[in-house]
Amino acid sequence: MLPDHLNFDNRSVFTDQAMTQRINPLTQPLNWLAGRPRNSRTPALGERELAVMHALWQAESHASAPEAAMLSAQQVLERMAGEPLALSTIQSTLERLCRKALVARQKQARAYLYRPLLARQDLISSMLHDISQDIAGGDVAPMVSGFMDYLSASRDD
């Protein structure tokens, strides 16, 4: 039997039962990384936290200036239109991300505006580092080979 942090059977390891069932490709590795030991470089992110980060990253990539990339909780909720969530849920998720130092917030009038402190590519890099440590003992050659196999197979599909 595999240890919990190597459970690949797609069961959710997150405790929040209200999470959406829609699959986000970035969350798949987190299903097994969420159970990793605390020496991981990758911050523990739940599916909803990752979805909120995705909305913030999108705003940042489409903004002409850094201050234009800042979103209120209401704007994040609007960007997550396919998910039936309450504003208070988004607000508490953003608060958790602030406590984890993954987003910054700035008070404007009666609301906070948020922006990501962690770039998407930095999260991916951290995840790849953790995977290489866990699976290949830090040797990147098997990872590169596996990635090339993945790319080859995805082209054939």
Please tell me what DSSP assigns to residue 102: S
Q: What is the pTM of this model?
A: 0.67
Residue 57 pLDDT greater than 60, yes or no: yes
Q: What is the mean pLDDT of residues 2-30?
A: 37
Measure CA 26 to chain center. 6
Task: Give the separation between CA 87 and CA 56, rounded to whole angstroms.
Answer: 16
Report the pLDDT value the prediction gives residue 44, as an integer from 0 to 100. Answer: 84
Q: Give 1-118's CATH code, choosing from 1.25.40.10, 1.10.10.10, 2.30.30.100, 3.30.70.60.
A: 1.10.10.10
Instruction: Count CA atoms closer than 13 A to 28's CA, side-chain side.
Output: 6
Contact at 8 Å (CB) between 147 and 132?
A: no
Residue 25 pLDDT greater than 50, yes or no: no
Task: Give the separation between CA 89 and CA 46, rounded to whole angstroms.
Answer: 13
Q: Where are the domains of the chain?
A: 1-118
CA distances from 93 to 49, 82, 89, 120, 154 (A): 6, 17, 6, 18, 34
Confidence bin at 31 (pLDDT 50/70/90): very low
Non-local (6+) Cβ contacts of 43 within 8 A are 100, 102, 118, 123, 126
Q: What is the mean pLDDT of the chain?
A: 77
Q: Which is higher by pLDDT, 110 or 3?
A: 110
Report the pLDDT value the prediction gives residue 112, as an integer from 0 to 100. Answer: 96
